[in-house]
Amino acid sequence: MDKVKITDIAKQSKVSPTTVSRYFNHPELLSQETQTKIEDAIQKLNYKQDHLARILVTGESNLVGVIFPHLHLSFYTELLNQLIKYAKEKGYHLIVYTSNNSKSEELQLIQNLLSYRVKGLILLSHLLSPQEIEELPVPVITIERTGGNYKQINNDNFTGGKLAAELLIQNDCDVFIHINNDYQENWPSFKRILGFEFGIKDRCYERIVENNFTDPYTSKAESTMQKVVQNLLTKYPNKKIGVFCSNDDIANLFERECIKQDFDVPNMVKLIGYDNSPVSNYAVYPITSIDQNISLMAQVAIQSLDNYIPCETIVPAILVKKIQHYDT
Amino acid sequence: MDKVKITDIAKQSKVSPTTVSRYFNHPELLSQETQTKIEDAIQKLNYKQDHLARILVTGESNLVGVIFPHLHLSFYTELLNQLIKYAKEKGYHLIVYTSNNSKSEELQLIQNLLSYRVKGLILLSHLLSPQEIEELPVPVITIERTGGNYKQINNDNFTGGKLAAELLIQNDCDVFIHINNDYQENWPSFKRILGFEFGIKDRCYERIVENNFTDPYTSKAESTMQKVVQNLLTKYPNKKIGVFCSNDDIANLFERECIKQDFDVPNMVKLIGYDNSPVSNYAVYPITSIDQNISLMAQVAIQSLDNYIPCETIVPAILVKKIQHYDT
DNA sequence: TTGAAAGCGCTAACAG
DNA sequence: CTGTTAGCGCTTTCAA
């Protein structure tokens, strides 16, 4: 296998390798004549740059590491989708990982990524402490997780929760329920709960938290949801129930379970999810949701790699009404 | 920023850089004593290998490019999930891309990946011709796409389709419907249709093909499905309809639409999807599906990188019955 | 406007 | 078992 290298086209076009290198990196320094000579040689020999060798010299790579907890949440896959889209525009390459397991595994992954001299890291997992993140020798961008001295991109969760509460109140619900997977109080998404409970004030309210909803596409999640819905049905007969779920996938699981149990979803249960991800639109009854603007989050994340400023960016939360909710 | 390199720990442990290199690559050649000396130095200086420099010398990278058409199909996201899992075990890093657009864009992506000296390419997109794939200077592994002189991993689509037909016949359906997105006759998945139609023989049958189902999570797909279901309802009143969809996402879309239109899904409509992906289990009525064994496909794909043999691997198709179908 | 020389961090021959 | 030497493919001084 005879790889064409910079010296080959140097010979072919009768200039030095340095000049050829300059053709790619500082073409303005070359005469028009040399440029065309080099161009011809490149065409003729079908030369392709070797990024790897270049990175070794310059220290600047276009590789970016992305670590998700898992890929079973449409928020994650849609974010990945958008990250890829914006990365493509900037010429970045995403090395994608999931890491729902051990912290040591995640640290190992990161070490591996660093050994490829990634330009930066986009983290969605919650395993590392802010301090550990700060100590990493590359720019780190976190999305929806605890802060520290690095770039954070978070949704305006408090407002999101508040908007959910307000809509459910406008819809004349008698009982208010919040359903969440396991969380920690220092996660940004905890503010959804705070915002919701702030909006609800001292109305009849219940907060339901279940570990099993962390990955909603498991049989555990399903059986847990079955019980949750059953309980609500027996506990609040003939009441109009307003339910706010911490993400669309959980909301979707909830809606399905209601349908199975013949709960009158569009009328006696008013449902609101979070993320406004595709799953919310294509539920049996499309689910009203709080839009996190995933696309904007992705865009900001990719842009931050270029011009890194360790600060928090708050992306607005917007209520998107679907057929379950009337205009007021 | 003072990066610790191999020469630093060579000095620290009073051996040559070569010896340190050997510590990582051929430790069996070193004396126990030198090994511990080097180990200590590594600990002390907190040395991390630089994979990039290593690749430049050895020409062997652990980077692998993966190109999906898009990420809006649970077959794709689940496959990515599994690929990441097996890649992790082997120490490979996946650079992930989507490319549903132009062929020239895909070629550009691949050139970029090659410039990072990827070890191989895993392709799920259908843009390149077999010839173009064969010309690529790295091992290519395709999943569910047209063959050529490279590694192909395909499901036993014919059997899959046949199994679907047999089950629907056993369930005493009067009318048989196949719903597919746009396809080409040289795609492996076309054999699903052939297998199904072979199984159906000369019973009452209709093949429905819609471009709009390529990405089932769009409003176009939804409105198209609405019409499809409506037509079936009016065309075959009081008939038991057996429906085989080309993937679970389309099946799910179909089921939802039936529920909306008050079609008696579990009784008068017998539904079968393809992929046995999570979405099939968590539909309102879990959807019987043909399991492609995505995990096995991913495993074979990753293994093929190591020991590349350009041949086709057929992964078995297995019928997985859910509640819509009784045992026979 | 161009070229020569040095070197990014590492490893593989070859020699001892 | 260990070290010397050369070089992966490229870019960046520095000098002309």
Mean pLDDT of A255-265: 88
User: Which among A85, A222, A284 is the nearest to B259, CB-wise?
Assistant: A284
In sequence order, the β-bridge partners of residue B319 are B290
Closest CA to A223 of A241, A211, A237, A238: A211
DSSP per residue over B21-88, as a string?
HHHHH-GGGS-HHHHHHHHHHHHHHT----HHHHHHHH----EEEEEES-S-SHHHHHHHHHHHHHHH
Q: Which tens digits make up the pLDDT trace of B71-94?
A: 988 899 999 999 999 999 999 999
Query: Which amino acid is present at B105?
Result: E
The nearest alpha carbon in chain B to A87 belongs to B97
| Chain A residues closer than 8 Å to B84 by CB | 71, 96-98
CATH level 2 (architecture), domain B6-49 = Orthogonal Bundle (1.10)
- Token pair, residue A156, equals 């305006």
- Token pair, residue A277, equals 């991800």
Q: Is B217 on the interface with A (CB under 8 A)?
A: yes
Q: Under CATH, which number does the domain A157-292 receive?
A: 3.40.50.2300
| Chain B residues closer than 8 Å to A77 by CB | 71, 77
CATH topology of domain A60-155+295-315: Rossmann fold (3.40.50)
Q: Kindly report the bases of strand C lying within 7 A of a protein C-beta atom.
A: 1-5, 7-13
pLDDT at B56 over 80: yes
| Chain A residues closer than 8 Å to B116 by CB | 51-52, 63, 93
Residue B251 and residue B290 in contact, taking contact as beta carbons nearer than 8 Å: no
- Token pair, residue B218, equals 């769009």
Residue A7 has what pLDDT?
A: 93
| Cβ distance of B72 and A91 shorter than 8 Å | no
Measured in angstroms, the CA of B146 and the nearest CA of chain A are apart by 25
pLDDT at A326 over 60: no
Query: Which amino acid is present at B97?
Result: Y
The model's pTM: 0.90
Q: Using 50, 70 and 90 to split pLDDT, how confident is the model at A239?
A: very high
The nearest alpha carbon in chain A to B95 belongs to A95
How far is the C-alpha of A260 from the C-alpha of A225, rounded, in Å? Answer: 11
Residue B70 and residue B215 in contact, taking contact as beta carbons nearer than 8 Å: yes
pLDDT at A325 over 80: no
Domain ranges of chain A: 6-49, 60-155+295-315, 157-292
* Mean pLDDT score across all residues of chain A: 92
Q: Is B223 on the interface with A (CB under 8 A)?
A: no
- Ramachandran area for residue A231 (φ above 0: left; ψ -120 to 50: alpha; else beta): alpha
How far is the C-alpha of A49 from the C-alpha of A235, rounded, in Å? Answer: 68
Fold equal for A60-155+295-315 and A157-292: yes
**How many CB atoms within 10 Å of residue A313?**
17
Q: Using 50, 70 and 90 to split pLDDT, how confident is the model at A328?
A: very low
Mutate to test the interface with A, among B6, B81, B96 (most CBs of A within 10 A): B96
- Token pair, residue B166, equals 């047999």
Percent of chain A's residues with pLDDT above 70: 98
How far is the C-alpha of B9 from the C-alpha of B4, rounded, in Å? Answer: 8
Q: How many residues does chain B have?
A: 328
pLDDT at B9 over 60: yes
| Chain B residues closer than 8 Å to A108 by CB | none
- Residue A212's H or E segment, with its range, is none
Mean pLDDT of A149-155: 96
Q: Which tens digits make up the pLDDT trace of B148-182?
A: 999 999 999 999 999 999 999 999 999 999 999 99
Measured in angstroms, the CA of B187 and the nearest CA of chain A are apart by 25
Q: Is A1 on the interface with B (CB under 8 A)?
A: yes
| Chain A residues closer than 8 Å to B216 by CB | 282
pLDDT at B328 over 50: no
pLDDT at A327 over 70: no
How far is the C-alpha of B210 from the C-alpha of A77, rounded, in Å? Answer: 25
Q: Which tens digits make up the pLDDT trace of A17-30?
A: 999 999 999 999 99
Compare A262 and B271 and report the one with higher pLDDT.
B271
Residue A324 has what pLDDT?
A: 66
Does strand C come within 7 Å of the CB of A284? no
Q: Is B57 on the interface with A (CB under 8 A)?
A: no
Q: Is A283 on the interface with B (CB under 8 A)?
A: yes
Closest CA to A279 of A239, A314, A319, A322: A322
Q: Which tens digits make up the pLDDT trace of B102-126?
A: 899 999 999 999 999 999 999 999 8
Residues 289-308, chain B: which have Cβ under 7 A from strand C? none
Residue B310 has what pLDDT?
A: 94
Percent of chain B's residues with pLDDT above 70: 98
